[in-house]
Structure formats: structure tokens, C-alpha cells
Chains A and B, each alone.
Chain A
Amino acid sequence: MAQLQRERVVENRPVELIFPTPKHINLNTTEPLAAGELYYSIMHAFGTVENGITDFWGLDSGANIRFSLEYGITDRFSVFAGRSSMDKVYDIGFRYLYLQQMTGSGSPVSASIVLTGGLMTDDYSFLNQSYSFSERNQLSVALPFSRKMNDRFSLLAVPMVAAFSRTNPFLRIKDPLDTEEVFAGLGLGSRYKLNNRTSITIQYVPSYRFETEKTNQNIAIGMDFETGGHVFQIFFTTSRALNDAYLLAGANGRIDDYAFRFGFNINRSFVVRE
């Protein structure tokens, strides 16, 4: 029977959905929004699970919650605003995809830059501390690189730097010497797709304190559930932090103490402009 030769029109295509959402547990991914896409995310991290049913594995401790809205200006550039309940931090920033992994010739990885400016608005008058506006600022830069190794397996590496205009031993930013203001770390993440809708996820974020020469370590393991409109991410993590700056500088439970916390993210995308 006469048949046309089956040939792809486009052999060299962008590798899409390396990670399904702009957030992978806590880390920023390279996943760009589409122009006209509105992305809503709400992230939670509860108390530690170690007390068992007494505080219902940390759920009674309340959660640190970050909700954010992000809007795609172009297919590579988006802007966002968010708020985390821990330290009442408001943040704004942008995400830009400057390198796109291709199926054929071209870049073997995707790479983005995410710049975030934050403002801590918590009231510390009870500590007899007064914080001026300029002492409440935070800035963080994340440079996610990602690669889809195959249909199921994706890798993520995120060099990150965060700077605080002021830190303090009494704050959530544990800094016993009260001198450290710049933190750097390397976030590592991966996901393995069990099927089209379910993945196992892992994140490891060692962050280095220059003055104390100590490394703070965050580890999280979880699962992604994609339902079509939503991506649900549930995980156990050692950190209560939900934004880049606190992820690097904030306290982390010790892994050998089983200081894990339950957390989950809900990600939702809307097409608001065709």
C-alpha cells in the first residue's frame, strides 16, 4: 500500500517540562511560564514529626506558608510576588530562561536566573530591637540549571546566594556570631517519573557560612502528583524555609535526629491571556 514517509517536521525541538512547575519542593526550576500564564503556588511546611501523635506529627505546630503569584510577560520572562508567614516576608522578583535544552543540536541544559528581593515585616519590639526599613531587606539570586536525562529522570542544580541587611541570633536566621550577612549554597534536585502523573522527588541544599565555616544542610524527599490543572507536591523536609534566602540562611533540623517536617505545595496554572 502506498504510504507517505513518516518524517518529523521539526527534529530539533525544545525539551519541555523538564520539571513540571517553577518550584521543585523549595528550589526554583528552569521551567518558564508561557506568555499570558498566571501561576499560583501555595507552599506549606509544618512542625517536626518527632513528637508523634502528641502534636499530630507537627501539624498542630502550624505551618510556615508562602503563597505567590507569577505572571508570564513573555515565554521566557515572568515576574512574581509572594509572602511567607515566617518573619512576614514579602518578596518580589523575576525569572528569565536564557538557555533552553534541545532534543537535537543545541544546548544540553536549560538555565534560568531568578532574582528575588524581600522585605521582613515582623515586629521585633518585644526583643527590644528596632529594625529600620533598610535593616529588613533581603536579596537572593538563584541560577537553576536543569536537564531531562530521559523520559523519566530530570536533574536540577541551583547555585544560590542570599544577602541580608541585618541578621541576629534571636531571629529565624540563626547566626550565633551576629556577623554573617551573606550565605551561599548549591541546591540539588531530581525527579523520577513513576508514571505520567506521579514522580518521586528529592532535594538537597548544602549552604555554607563563611565566617563560622559551617555547612547547613537541608534535605527533602517527596512526591509530585499531576492532575491536569494542578501539581501537588508533598514532601518531608528538614527546613521550615520556603523562600531562597531563608532556605540558605534559615535553621535546618538534623537529619540524624529525624527532624523532618511534613510539607506540601499546590501549584496551579491559568491561561489568562491567549
Chain B
Amino acid sequence: MRFLLSVFILSIALLFGITNSKAQTFLNTEGYVEFISTAPLLEFKGISNDLSGLINIETGEVDFFVDLATLDSGNRRRDRDMRQVYLEIDKYPFAEFSGLLDSSVDLNMPGEQNVTVTGEFTMRSISREMTVTGTIQVIDDAIRVQANWQILLEDFNIDRPRVVFYELSDVQTINIDITLLPHEED
């Protein structure tokens, strides 16, 4: 009986040992994200270094968001218009993407791995289903995630000036680059 108990305890310890040997959840709150608007005469970027991201390799869960107040386009006038007129950040503070990895990630594989995530991109309380492709690269204990995709402002009910000027493109390219660090779950 004592032997069995020892085996049981040992098994539990091993089990925890194995699962803890490599963290399955990775997160960071200081990632890079840029929104690029390319209109015929004008291209500009809104950049933030406050992208928060989380990936759970085991469950495949992916969650990213950025506080849109941190977007900086390099000019205060454009920032004000972007934040107040188009994004209305006081009402809708975040842009978010949550989804599931379509395939598993091998943390022991060197180099970049292509991944796709299917989920919902949400802005201004409007959610759109989308599939995003990107890469994951294991660097020491951390994983670096890079991805880019496009959204249409029209899909998020963003009232873009059409009549007089065409300064803001309907198509916005989003690039993210974030290094997620291992996180022990509580």
C-alpha cells in the first residue's frame, strides 16, 4: 500500500514536472502594432508599442488587444482626428483579436513556423470573423509572433470622409510584432 502511494505521488510529481518543464502560456503587454493607411496621395501609419498579447500553446487560444489611445501617427492633428472622429476612443477604447490556432506549434522547432489563427477582430463593438496568417519563432524561452492582415474601415462602421477628400484609405494594413514571454498560470 505504501508502495502504491509512493508511485501515485511520484506520478503526480512527474506529471507536474513535465507540464511545468515548458510553459504553455506566453504573454507580453509591450508589443508593436501599426495600422497603415495607403491612400493615392498619402500614406501614414498609426503606431503603438503597447500591444498586449497572449498565446496558450496547449489550448491554441490567442488573444491580442491594444489601447487605441496609444496610437501615434506622428502628428497631433491627425492623432486627434483619428482618435476622436474615426475611432471614438472614449466610447470604444480597444482594438481586439481573439481566436484559436488552426494548427499546433512545436516549441522545440528552430526557426520560423507559419501559423494561422481563426478568430474575431473587434473594433468599435463590431466583431468580424477573420483568419490571420503569421509566423512564430521560438527564441530561448520566449516566442516571437509576427503577423499582418487587412481590415476595411467600412466593416467597422468608421465614417470616412468621401465627398471632399480621400485622405484615409478604407483598407488598413495591420502589422504586429510581439515577443511573448513564458507565463506560469496561477
**Which stretch (A6-14, A80-88, A114-122, A169-177) binds chain B?**
A6-14
Nearest A residue to B49, CB-CB: A9
B84–A271 touching, CB < 8 Å: no
Q: Is the C-beta of A33 less than 8 angstroms from some C-beta in chain B?
A: yes
Nearest 8 A/B pairs, CB to CB: A228-B161, A34-B76, A34-B77, A229-B165, A9-B67, A17-B84, A16-B80, A37-B77
Binary contact readout B75-106 vs A (1 if CB under 8 angstroms, 0 otherwise): 11111110111001011011010100000000
Cα of A103 to Cα of B78 in the assembled complex, Å: 20
Nearest B residue to A39, CB-CB: B77
Q: Is the C-beta of B146 less than 8 angstroms from some C-beta in chain A?
A: no
A274 touching B77 in the complex, CB below 8 Å, given contacts A1-B61, A16-B83: no
**Which stretch (B2-10, B13-21, B51-59, B136-144) binds chain A?**
B51-59
Cα of A37 to Cα of B96 in the assembled complex, Å: 31
6 example contacts (A-B, Cβ-Cβ < 8 A) are as follows A16-B84, A17-B85, A72-B77, A196-B85, A228-B161, A229-B161
In this complex, how many residues of chain A approach chain B with their Cβ under 8 Å: the count is: 31
Known contacts A9-B69, A34-B80; 4 further A-B pairs (Cβ under 8 A): A4-B29, A17-B84, A37-B77, A227-B165
Q: Which residues of A contact B54 (CB under 8 A)?
A: 2-4
Q: Which residues of A contact B93 (CB under 8 A)?
A: 6, 8
A34 touching B75 in the complex, CB below 8 Å, given contacts A2-B59, A3-B63, A9-B50: yes
* A residues 1-41 in Cβ contact with B at 8 Å: 1-4, 6-10, 13, 16-17, 33-37
Majority-rule SS of B interface residues:
mixed
Q: Is the C-beta of B112 less than 8 angstroms from some C-beta in chain A?
A: no
Cα of A9 to Cα of B53 in the assembled complex, Å: 14
A6–B65 touching, CB < 8 Å: yes
Interface centre among B25, B77, B85, B161 (most CB of A within 10 A): B77
B75–A36 touching, CB < 8 Å: yes
B69–A8 touching, CB < 8 Å: yes
Nearest B residue to A7, CB-CB: B67
A10–B91 touching, CB < 8 Å: no
A230–B76 touching, CB < 8 Å: no
B161–A6 touching, CB < 8 Å: no
A4–B52 touching, CB < 8 Å: yes
Cα of A33 to Cα of B67 in the assembled complex, Å: 24
Nearest A residue to B74, CB-CB: A274
Q: Is the C-beta of B164 less than 8 angstroms from some C-beta in chain A?
A: yes
CB distance from A5 to the nearest CB of B (A): 9
A228 touching B160 in the complex, CB below 8 Å, given contacts A4-B52, A9-B70, A271-B78: yes
A4–B63 touching, CB < 8 Å: yes
Cα of A10 to Cα of B65 in the assembled complex, Å: 14
A228–B94 touching, CB < 8 Å: no
Binary contact readout A251-270 vs B (1 if CB under 8 angstroms, 0 otherwise): 00000000000000000010
A3–B98 touching, CB < 8 Å: yes
B76–A75 touching, CB < 8 Å: yes
Cα of A9 to Cα of B68 in the assembled complex, Å: 9
* B residues 28-49 in Cβ contact with A at 8 Å: 29
